[in-house]
Amino acid sequence: MRVMRTTIFGLLAAFGLAISAHGQALPTAAPEEVGLSAEVLDRIGPALQELVDDEEVAGVVTLVARRGKIVRCDTLGMMDVDAKRPMRRDTIFRIYSMTKPVTSVAAMMLYEEGKLELDAPVAKYIPQFANLKVAADPAADEITPVAPKRPMTVRDLMRHTAGLTYGHFGSTAVDKAINEARARSGPDADLEDLVDDLSKIPLLYQPGTKWHYSLATDVLGYIVEEVSGQKLDEFFRERIFEPLEMNDTGFYVAKDKLDRLATNYRPKLLGGLAVLDAPATSQFAKRPAQLSGGGGLVSTADDYMRFCMMLLGRGEFAGRRLLKASTVEMMTANQLPEPLMPIAIGPKRPGVGFGLGFAVRVRQSQSDPSARLGEYGWAGAASTHFWISPNDEIVVVTLEQYMPYSARVARVVKPIVYEAILRKTD
C-alpha cells in the first residue's frame, strides 16, 4: 500500500495537481516534464521500504523537486510504531541542525540591510566577547588562556571557524567547561545566558585556524536578536516563515498539531528501535527558554522544501524575494581556505568545504561518489537531510527521526535521484 501511494502521487503530479492541506500547495510535474526518469525514481520507494522492513528506520518522508516542481513524494513506515500511526506527508519532524541555514539566512537579511557586518568582530554586537581568551593547548587537561591572535568575526560564526565548540561532541577541558556552565545555568537559560557563559570560557582554537562544528550558530542567533530587536522566533516567523508559507515550522509544536509530531527513535542493543522522545512528553511540545538558532526548529517536508526552493531560486520563491541573488551565491560558495578543508564531524568529508551556513561540494570524492560539484546542504541530528544541486536545478529533502545521526536514507536516495537525470540527445 505504501508503494501504491507513491504511484498515486505520480499520477496526480502528471496532471499538475497538488497534495498539501497546509498553505498554498507546491507546484508538481511529471518527472519527464523536467528531464527526469520516472522509472528510475520509482526505485526510491522499494529501497526505503527495505530500511523500514529491516527496522533501521521507523518511517521516512522524502521530497524530490526539479526546476521548482515536486516530482516525487514518498511516505513510508510509521510516525509512531507502537500506536501504529502511519507516516504522513504533513508529519512534523525535529530538524535540529537544519535550523542553522535558517539562522544564516536571517543574519544575511540583516547584512543586506547594512545592520550586520560579516567581517566585524563579534564583540561589536556582543560586548561580553571583547575579552575572550583562547586555550593555549586544546588537548591539555587544564586550560591555559592566551590572547587571541585576531578577533572572532561574524563570518567565523557562519562558517564554523570561530574557535567555539559544542561541549557534547568532545572531551577537552574547554568542552567540559562548557558542559559544566550549561548545567549550572539549567533548563530555563535563554540565549543571553548562553552567551554570558561562553564569554567566560576560552576558545578551543584561535579564530580562523580550524573548522570546528560548534555553538557558533546559536551565538549568531543571539546577534540576530540584538541587531533586529526581535526574539528569534518572531524574526523567523515575520521575515522567513510567513513569506514562504512555512506554516508548520517553529521552535515548538502547538497542542493542536502535536498529533503530527513523529516519535524520535534510537536503536535497541540487539536490533530494532526504541522510543527516544515521545511527542506527548517531548521538549518540543512547549516553547523553549532558549531559542536555539543552531538546532531548535521543527518542520515538515513541504515547509523545508519551500525554504530550499527559495535558495535554489537565488533568494526568491513564489514571487517573494528574501535575499539578493548575489547574497545566496556568496552563502553557498565555499568560504574555507584550503588548509581548513575538508570539514569533519568525526570522519572527514573529502572534497567538502563550507559556505555561510552550508556544506559545499568543491571536489568529487569516493566517499560520496554521486554528489555533484556545487551541491550544498546540511543535516540534522535526528538524521534529517537536505541538499541542493544548483547546476542540476534539483532539491531533495529527506526526513526521519533516528538518533544517533545516520546518513543511510540520504545514501539510498541521492544516487537514484542523480541517475534519474535524462541526458539530452541531439
Domain positions in the chain are: 2-92+253-286+300-330+373-419, 103-231
Confidence of residue 169 (pLDDT cuts 50, 70, 90): confident
Q: Would you state the pLDDT for residue 295?
A: 98
CA distance 24 to 30: 19
Of 178, 160, 1, 163, nearest in space to 77 by CA: 1
Confidence of residue 12 (pLDDT cuts 50, 70, 90): very low
Mean pLDDT of 191-200: 97
Mean pLDDT of 26-50: 98
Residues 6+ apart with CB under 8 A from 288: 251, 252, 296
Question: Is the pLDDT reported for residue 343 higher than 80?
Answer: yes
CA distance 69 to 14: 11
- Average pLDDT over the chain reads 94
pLDDT over 90, % of the chain: 91
**Alpha carbon of 218 to those of 101, 234, 331: distances in Å?**
12, 16, 18
Confidence of residue 170 (pLDDT cuts 50, 70, 90): confident
Question: Is the pLDDT reported for residue 18 higher than 90?
Answer: no
Confidence of residue 19 (pLDDT cuts 50, 70, 90): very low
Q: Would you state the pLDDT for residue 342?
A: 97
Mean pLDDT of 197-212: 98
- What CATH number was assigned to the domain covering residues 103-231? 3.40.710.10
Q: pLDDT tens digit string along 249-306? A: 999 999 999 999 999 999 999 999 999 999 999 999 999 999 999 999 999 999 999 9
Number of CB atoms found within 10 A of residue 403's CB: 17
Topology classification of domain 2-92+253-286+300-330+373-419 = Beta-lactamase (3.40.710)
Q: pLDDT tens digit string along 48-93? A: 999 999 999 999 999 999 999 999 999 999 999 999 999 999 999 9
Is 103-231 in the same CATH topology as 2-92+253-286+300-330+373-419?
yes
The residue to which cell 552550508 is assigned: 358
CA distance 319 to 245: 12
CB 46 within 8 A of CB 378: no
Q: Would you state the pLDDT for residue 142?
A: 96
Question: Is the pLDDT reported for residue 425 higher than 90?
Answer: no
Kindly provide the b/e burial profile for residues 184-196, where b requires at least 16 CB atoms within 10 angstroms of the residue's own CB: ebeeebbbebbbe
Q: Would you state the pLDDT for residue 24?
A: 79
Q: Would you state the pLDDT for residue 187?
A: 87
Confidence of residue 23 (pLDDT cuts 50, 70, 90): low
Mean pLDDT of 384-401: 98
CA distance 397 to 379: 10
Confidence of residue 126 (pLDDT cuts 50, 70, 90): very high
Q: Would you state the pLDDT for residue 21?
A: 46
Question: Is the pLDDT reported for residue 16 higher than 60?
Answer: no
Question: Is the pLDDT reported for residue 221 higher than 60?
Answer: yes
The pTM assigned to this predicted structure is 0.94
Mean pLDDT of 345-350: 94
CB 335 within 8 A of CB 354: yes
